[in-house]
């Protein structure tokens, strides 16, 4: 896949619904890391045993805010999905895997449903692209007009 094709969008307008869901959740979660530092930001990261929580939490929060906005706009969507895949994978590994081992499948499945939906939504967007109602759409038209 060429770089221009990777950054392009498909001509499907319905992708906007997945972009809105995933982008809004990550934007909200990123903002909350700054609004509720002790509960959801550095305090939570410290409780989880993550290194340098006072630096890591704002970094993750800013990443979620910036990439969440990019998802909502459909701008550089596939590039914005990549750091969010890292964020959600680390979230699952540090919170849901321990719960799975300590409390069992059903507790982890219940508590992890939003993480699972975000992971699947990100994978969908990575495969599908931003859709025609996006800022990436003009690049998609240029890529499809270019002869092979």
How do residues 22-64 score in pLDDT, each as one tens digit? 999 999 999 999 999 999 999 999 999 999 999 999 999 999 9
The whole-model pTM stands at 0.87
pLDDT tens digit sequence for 81-99:
999 999 999 999 999 999 9
Domain definitions of the chain by residue range: 3-142
- Residue 70 near residue 30, CB atoms below 8 Å: no
Residue 4: what pLDDT? 72
Residue 140: what pLDDT? 67
Does the pLDDT value for residue 116 go beyond 80?
yes
Three-state SS for 8?
coil
In angstroms, the Cα distances linking 104 to 18, 92, 118 are 30, 15, 21
Q: What is the mean pLDDT of the segment spanning 120-137?
A: 95
Residue 139: what pLDDT? 77
């Amino acid at each position: 896949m060429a770089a221009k094709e990777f950054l392009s969008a498909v001509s499907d307008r319905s992708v906007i619904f997945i972009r809105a869901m995933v982008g809004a959740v990550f934007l909200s979660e990123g903002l909350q890391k700054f609004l509720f530092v002790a509960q959801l930001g550095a305090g939570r990261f410290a409780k989880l045993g993550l290194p340098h929580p006072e630096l890591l939490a704002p970094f993750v929060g800013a990443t979620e805010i910036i990439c969440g906005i990019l998802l909502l706009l459909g701008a550089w969507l596939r590039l914005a999905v990549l750091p969010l895949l890292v964020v959600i994978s680390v979230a699952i590994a540090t919170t849901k895997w321990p719960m799975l081992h300590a409390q069992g499948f059903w507790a982890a499945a219940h508590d992890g449903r939003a993480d699972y939906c975000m992971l699947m939504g990100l994978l969908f967007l990575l495969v599908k692209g931003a859709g025609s109602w996006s800022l990436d759409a003009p690049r998609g038209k240029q890529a499809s007009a270019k002869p092979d």
